[in-house]
Amino acid sequence: MSKVITTNTALLILAASLMPAITSAFGEQASYPNGFHNGGTGNCDGCHAGRPPSVLRNTSSAAKGVTAATVVQRQSMLNGSDPSSTCLICHSAPVGQKQPSGFLIASSRESLATGVQPPSQLTPGGDFGWLLKTYKWSSKGGGVNDSLSPGDSHGHNIVAQDYGFNADMINAVAPGGTYPSDRLSCISCHDPHGNYRRSAAGTIGLTGMPIKSSGSYGDSADPDSAGTVGTYRLLAGAGYQPTSLTGDFAFKADPPAAVSPAIYNRAETSSDTRVAYGKGMTEWCRNCHVTTHKNAHPMGSAGRLTTEVIRIYNHYLTSGNRSGSKDSAYNSLVPYEMGSDDYSVLKATANSNGSVRSGPQNGANVMCLSCHRAHASGWDHMTRWNLRNGIIVNEGTFVGTDSKSPVSSTAAQGRHSLETGKAYYDRKPGSFAVFQRSMCSKCHEKD
Ligand code: HEC
Ligand code: HEC
Ligand code: HEC
Ligand code: HEC
Ligand code: HEC
Ligand code: HEC
């Protein structure tokens, strides 16, 4: 008997000692083994306080017991101070989190406050924590800092009061459009109630058969006669604007066709995380960036890869190395759209174990995410690689302020080599050339 108790006690102690590790690395997934949104509207309580009107925050009328309109009630009943803070209750990484994990998309402010601590989450969209990192450096090497890469320019500044994210200081509205920056939040792009759905016929809308699951993944169910699936990443479609946003900012374009691998938040040290982008991302971004890059670089349906660009992409491996082949040419730093909304093709392509590495074929096109990330990146204008200084790797190591080489430490633009490496999703420096230059070359390097 006493032996059993001892064993149990030992197990309990063991369990207790493992708890913090388990909670920090897997707590979020463990809490939602069966999903939360599941492609549609999650449990109301996850975002709205299920409290009686008398304890509503921020509504004096409600506090007096006056029943306000459901709309006003529900808005003031969010679990966070604002919409983005409500999402980040589940989507922000716990303090000290160092490994990428599940659906976490923002490192905490506290984690980034001390020393060289790059944002830790490595999803395709990118970690919003980069918005909290401002870099200063001297363009002449040493001496007085004369150059700046403000945190605000590293991504979409989602206003989230509880997590230290403020409105963009530089852009008052979306460049090339009118969407107000002080109202930019998660629900500017994602429908919090996940009402947009994709049917078996491929149409996207607000009505129709109920949503049976997420439609974002390689292993998601297909829509059929009994049910629809959620749009890619719960992105909002035509006609959408948050209820609380006054003025006319309604989306004109539906969400893109795309498929993410089931495991998408990971270091790309040994293989790429390949989202199969199909069609419509550029048009969707243009819901807010109507005239951005107009008449500049070709993109979207007008940005088909030419035969020559396809040839270059498929041969280019790294600066100066064009020994690649079309079966293994894909690089997630430079994605393109396949030009297809055939989900059987997209699902067969999305992976994160290196199973499909084929490069572009006829019909593929350039899109906004060929050069930018959707949430944030380590670089100005949330580009996927540093476009303000083309040098990625110098003398075989990521450029960094810690380098003894003056070329590297100036090219680093204030970033430590650990931050540079993280901004390239923990790829090995050796996966690039010894002197690696801008990734525009993936589509353009001449023989
Ligand atoms: C993932 C988070 C989330 C979930 C789950 C959620 N809501 Fe909401 N809801 C929000 C946010 C954020 C807003 C604020 C929208 C705005 O500011 O325009 C909102 C607003 C509302 C509104 C105001 C009108 C509108 O559509 O904006 C109502 C009513 C509402 N929610 C009801 C519900 C009900 C009922 C459920 C459960 C069936 C639910 N919500 C589930 C996040 C959520
Ligand atoms: C109560 C916790 C919780 C809250 C609050 C929450 N989420 Fe999530 N979210 C999850 C979980 C769990 C997943 C992964 C499983 C799933 O998709 O259901 C997820 C997944 C997602 C995905 C990927 C879904 C897909 O199908 O591709 C998006 C996008 C997302 N959340 C956006 C939001 C936004 C925007 C808000 C705020 C309006 C929000 N979430 C609030 C728990 C939450
Ligand atoms: C400007 C539009 C926009 C805003 C604002 C935005 N998202 Fe996203 N989000 C996207 C797009 C587009 C994707 C798909 C990215 C991809 O696959 O490359 C995405 C992807 C995601 C994913 C899947 C993981 C990933 O990063 O690829 C989650 C979870 C998510 N968003 C949650 C959020 C939350 C929570 C917020 C607010 C803190 C937010 N998003 C704000 C557009 C946005
Ligand atoms: C709901 C409106 C909305 C959508 C949709 C949207 N954006 Fe934005 N975007 C904004 C706003 C507002 C700003 C200015 C505020 C900021 O930079 O944080 C902005 C800023 C930017 C910037 C400049 C960042 C900087 O500070 O230099 C880039 C790049 C960008 N968006 C790219 C995209 C891409 C790519 C997509 C599609 C994946 C997209 N946007 C979709 C509203 C939107
Ligand atoms: C071929 C690469 C490429 C593509 C494709 C691309 N961009 Fe850019 N984008 C850049 C570069 C480089 C910059 C920074 C230099 C500049 O301002 O032109 C930039 C800057 C921006 C800015 C900041 C401009 C400002 O005035 O602050 C926004 C916003 C933006 N891009 C949005 C988009 C959107 C939206 C799309 C798709 C409709 C897109 N980009 C497609 C390369 C690209
Ligand atoms: C995914 C492939 C891809 C990427 C990445 C890419 N381009 Fe292009 N680019 C194209 C295609 C396709 C064209 C149109 C056909 C052509 O001119 O060869 C083009 C055309 C151009 C042109 C000629 C512009 C015109 O209007 O005729 C320039 C200049 C250019 N790209 C520069 C860049 C720069 C700089 C970058 C990096 C910021 C970049 N490209 C990234 C595919 C790409």
Q: How confident is the model at residue 331 (pLDDT cuts 50, 70, 90)?
A: very high
Look at residue 346 and tell me whether its pLDDT is greater than 60: yes
Q: Who's near 12: CB < 8 A, 6+ residues apart? A: none
Structure confidence by residue, pLDDT tens digits, 107-118 = 999 999 877 889
Q: How far apart are CA 123 and CA 264, in angstroms?
A: 6
The answer to whether 158 touches 186, Cβ cutoff 8 Å, is yes
At 55, the amino acid letter reads: V
The type of residue at 278 is G
Distance between CA atoms of residues 241 and 363, nearest Å: 32
Per-residue pLDDT tens digits for 119-133: 999 999 999 999 999
d(CA 327, CA 61): 64
Closest CA to 166 of 149, 148, 185: 185
CB atoms within 10 A of CB 416: 20
Residue 9 confidence (pLDDT) above 70? no
* Nearest-5° Cα angle at 310, 304 to 311: 155
Q: Cα(241)–Cα(140) distance, rounded to whole angstroms?
A: 46
Q: How far apart are CA 293 and CA 407, in angstroms?
A: 31
Mean pLDDT value across residues 147-163: 97
Sorting pLDDT into bands at 50, 70 and 90, what band is 17? very low
Whether residue 257 contacts residue 346, with contact meaning beta carbons closer than 8 Å, is answered with: yes
Lowest mean pLDDT among 58-67, 97-106, 190-199, 323-332: 58-67
Ligand 4 proximity of 131 Cβ (cutoff 6 Å): no
Q: How many CA atoms lie within 13 A of 436 on its CB side?
A: 23
Decide: 205 and 196 in contact? Cβ < 8 Å.
Answer: yes
CA angle, 76 then 78 then 82, to 5°: 85
How far, in Å, is the centroid of ligand 4 from the Cα of 156? 5
Does any ligand 1 atom lie closer than 6 A to the CB of residue 192? Answer: yes
Cα gap 77→55, rounded to integer Å:
9
User: Residue 58: pLDDT above 50?
Assistant: no
The amino acid present at 290, given as its one-letter code, is V
Please indicate whether residue 442, judged by its CB atom, sits closer than 6 Å to ligand 6. Answer: yes
Arithmetic mean of pLDDT, 397-410: 95
204 within ligand 4 shell (Cβ under 6 A): no
Residue-level pLDDT at 50: 59
Which residue is associated with the tokens 């035969």? Answer: 307
* Gap from CA of 91 to ligand 2 centroid (Å): 7
Question: Please, are residues 173 and 179 in contact by the beta-carbon 8 Å criterion?
Answer: yes
Q: Which ligand is nearest to the CA of 75?
A: 1
Asked if 323 and 315 count as a contact pair (C-beta separation under 8 A), the reply is: yes
CB of 241 within 8 A of CB of 190?
no
Q: Within 13 Å and on the Cβ side, how many CA atoms surround 119?
A: 32
Q: Is the CB of 46 under 6 A from ligand 2?
A: yes
122 lines ligand 6 (CB under 6 A): no
φ/ψ region of 278 (left if φ > 0, alpha if ψ in -120 to 50, else beta) reads alpha
* Residue pair 191/211 in contact by the 8 Å Cβ criterion: no
| Closest-approaching ligand to the CA atom of 48 | 1
- Average pLDDT of the chain, as a whole number: 89
**Predicted pLDDT at 29:** 54
Of 303, 311, 384, 319, give the one whose Cα is nearest residue 130. Answer: 384
**235: nearest Cα among 375, 81, 348:** 375
User: How much is the CA Rg of the chain, to the nearest whole Å?
Assistant: 23
Whether the CA torsion 438, 439, 444, 447 is positive or negative: it is positive
Sign of CA dihedral 40, 128, 239, 246: positive
Q: Please give the C-alpha separations between residue 282 and each of 188, 320, 322, in angstroms, as whole numbers.
A: 16, 30, 29
Q: Whose CA is nearest to atom 21 of ligand 6?
A: 297
